C-alpha cells in the first residue's frame, strides 16, 4: 500500500509539473502576433488594424473557433496548434472585457 501511495505521488508531481508546459501562454501569443500577424494588421495594412481590445472574450473565442482566418487560411494553417492556442490566450487576456485590457503595442 505504501509503495502504491509513493507511485501515485510521483505521478501527481510529474503531472503537476508538466501541466504549465502545455498550457497556453499569453506572452508567447504576443510574440506570435508580432511575428505572424502584425505585418498585415496595422492601421494601413492589408488586414486592417487588429487589437485584442476590438472584441470581447466571447467574440474572440467565436472568431478563433469558427473563422480561423478565412481570408488567408494559409496563415492559420502555417501555425502550430500551440501557437494558435497561445495567440487565442493573448487575445482573451487582453480583450475588451478582460481584467487587463491592453493594446498589442
Give 19-28 pLDDT, tens digit per residue. 444 589 999 9
User: Which residues, other chains included, contact 57 with Cβ-Cβ below 8 Å and sequence gap of 6+?
Assistant: 92, 95, 97, 98
Q: Is 16 contained in some domain?
A: no
Q: Is 15 contained in some domain?
A: no
Q: Is 40 contained in some domain?
A: yes
pLDDT in tens, 82-103: 999 999 999 999 999 998 876 5
Chain-centre distance for alpha carbon 21:
14
Q: What is the spatial distance between Cα 33 and Cα 79, in angstroms, rounded to a whole number?
A: 11
Residue 105's domain spans which residues? 24-105
This prediction's pTM: 0.72
Would you state the pLDDT for residue 102? 65
pLDDT in tens, 33-84: 999 999 899 888 888 898 999 999 999 999 999 877 888 889 888 999 999 9
For the chain, give the longest Cα–Cα distance. Answer: 67
Q: Is 48 contained in some domain?
A: yes
Q: Is 3 contained in some domain?
A: no
Q: Is 76 contained in some domain?
A: yes
Domains of the chain: total: 1
Burial of 20 (0-12, 13-18, 19+ CB in 10 A): exposed
Amino acid at each position: 500500500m505504501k509503495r502504491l501511495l509513493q507511485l501515485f505521488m510521483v505521478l501527481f508531481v510529474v503531472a503537476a509539473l508538466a501541466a504549465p508546459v502545455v498550457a497556453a501562454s499569453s506572452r508567447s501569443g504576443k510574440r506570435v502576433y508580432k511575428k505572424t500577424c502584425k505585418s498585415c494588421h496595422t492601421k494601413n495594412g492589408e488586414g486592417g488594424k487588429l487589437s485584442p481590445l476590438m472584441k470581447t472574450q466571447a467574440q474572440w473565442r467565436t472568431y478563433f473557433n469558427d473563422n480561423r482566418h478565412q481570408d488567408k487560411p494559409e496563415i492559420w494553417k502555417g501555425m502550430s496548434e500551440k501557437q494558435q492556442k497561445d495567440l487565442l490566450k493573448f487575445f482573451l487576456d487582453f480583450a475588451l472585457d478582460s481584467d487587463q485590457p491592453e493594446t498589442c503595442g
